[in-house]
Structure 1
Amino acid sequence: MIETPVKTRTALSFAAAAAVAALALASCATAAPGTQAAPPSSSTSAAAVAPQGSVPASGSGDNAAGGSSAPTVTGKDALALKGPALAQTVPDVTAAVKNPRPKLPATVTDSTGKKITVAKTDRLLALDLYGTLTDTVIGLGLQKSLVGRSNSDTQAALKDLPVVTQDGHDLNTEAVLNLRPSLILTNTTIGSEDKYRQLESAGVTVVRFESTPSLDTIDDAIDEVGDALGLPQAAQELADRTERELEAAKATVSQLKANTPVAPRGLVLYVRGTAGVFFILGKDYGAGDIVTALGLEDAAAKNGITQLKPANAEALVSLDPQVVLAMKDGVESTGGVEGLIKRQGMAATTAGANQRIITAADGQLLSYGPRTPANLVSLATAIYTEGK
């Protein structure tokens, strides 16, 4: 039997993670009819694409998609670009090992301090707001063990699996139980604690992880999932590969931003519908590391915003972002780029005036896991090459 503690780190608290999920849930459930799923703005540019294989691992031709390295792309001066851009959805993670053989039972101490013994991994659900846990399961070679998915799991390989979420990012316990899962992995950013307790009462093993929106904690998070699945060696291989890819991605971002003389002020906005769901995301919500890794100046951090702040006109004008990052579905739900810019204060910002709105798939923008390297390249390509 393997017994491993799930590490505790200073990161996004459960309360903060739950708040993001609650925002998404509330906005989906309460927005007025006709305000959701508005068609994409006609002004949105073609997808800004980092060619598949543009994140080579150091010392090899491997990358997040399992392809070969691509030619270097020359970036433009991002401060001179205008118009929106859509970052390409990155490819699915490839397994770091073939035919993994979990060593079970495995006992871990989860993020609540409770010891959990995992006896089976044959029927899995991995549930978190950005699909990171699912990416990790796939990277560990257990894709075929997944029996369902959340609406955040947009991986191509999982498109035929039943969805177990409802009303945004709430959990449908009946749908979960119908799948007879032997194990659920979650950081509770999807579903409530009450529902996970219901599932445990029904005999389902649930392992809770800390939500860790940081580049520095990706390897630890992968190790923790590997320990819970009885695959510590596979997790080490996946973590090592991801680290190599991350270093290569940072080098690619550096090349792309080489022609931008001053770091543009960057901001991550969370928007849903046309009502009141409009927030600035700080580093505690996963925005800081992504903004900085993309070569942008973190406008939120510079102004002392570390958590969640209403994106009112005063705040937006004060921060005056030059580049705004946002979730694709969120921007579409508010009327596309034109609808976002009509929000009070947005048109008065440099990003609003120039329509420099960079969107990415909702489950990708702030994901910290095996797909992060490819995500960084995709976002950087949109920022530094796409636009007028």
Structure 2
Amino acid sequence: MPLSSIQAAFEQRFQHKPLVVRAPGRVNLIGEHTDYNGGFVLPAAINREIFFAVGLNNTTQIRLYSFDQQEAYETENTAIQPSQIHWANYLLGVVAQFEKRGISVPGFDCVFGGNIPIGAGLSSSAAVECGLAYALNSLLNSGLERMDLARMSQLAEHEYAGVQCGIMDQFASLFGKAGHVVRLDCRSLEYAYFPFDSERYQLVLCNSGVKHSLASSEYNTRRQECERGVAILQKYYPEVKSLRDATLAQLEEHRTELGDVVWRRCSYVVEENLRVESACQSLNAGDLQAFGQQMYGSHAGLRDKYEVSCPELDVLVELAQGFPGVLGSRMMGGGFGGCTINMVETGQVEAFVQHATQGYQERLGLPLETYQTTIVAGVSPVEVAAS
């Protein structure tokens, strides 16, 4: 969907010139289920994005239009509250966060739409929140930092969409950098960039087509199992505030008391944090083969120890393993469906997509949707030609 359609729809509906902003979706290369355990993640912004046309309208009306849904929503700027219209809540939640910080939001018009596939785990919701937060910050000259916008967007999702997400998705959409992945410390929010050769390697996403029906209940269970592990370790090691602080030796020492399930969950998280560290060292050394091996290790841990994979995701990783030009593959996201992320040499991308599509059909009788992505910069204004 071209950016020009969003701008044209805005000018046709509202008869004035907008600020135009692009907000990318994200992938996470490695570091899964580490965020709520105070650990490390390694996301990147990708060239699937939501475009926004936003302008102040000199009234008290907030007028929103979803280009993809072809649906409008209007409200007074003094009456912001969650609505029955699901997509509007992500935007209204952002407005509410500005108000909570004492920044009064006047009437504005907004048209948005994009090409991030919904339900594929690429964080379309975070892109929607971050894009509007960035646009309003610019239009109102609020002077907020990008980290403020990330936190506000996260709270918008908590309070208006009812999803208790970590901050990684919003952070990645705002802090993405072309040709780099970014390691985020989910405890301190410190971050560092690492080079990724986007010309030699592409990130190909294979969508299992399985919706995360188990994800929310099992996600909560995993969090509780990790918390139980921390509570047991704290009796012996008071410095262990989260699994980020735990060692494999400590887990081994108390394996009987932890019990098999909690031990496996905790050892996966500790190992995954170590994998993120190793993966970053591999990037600095330009050793993408070693990085790919960490991705495979991550998938094996998610499958066997954390038990959040599913047969469809496992088949997709098996299809990637051993195929020429594929350096690494793993399930991405909460689990029980969604996508695998595959690091593929650019020259082998088409052959890999054909191989995976055919193999998925042969083994499971299922069609496969794939997305070829490159790493791009985070949320930014777009220079548009005068229409």
Asked if TM exceeds 0.5, the reply is: no
TM-score (norm 2): 0.24
**Larger relative contact order (Cα-Cα within 8 Å, sequence gap ≥ 6):** 1
TM-score (norm 1): 0.24
| Bigger helix fraction | 2
| Bigger strand fraction | 2
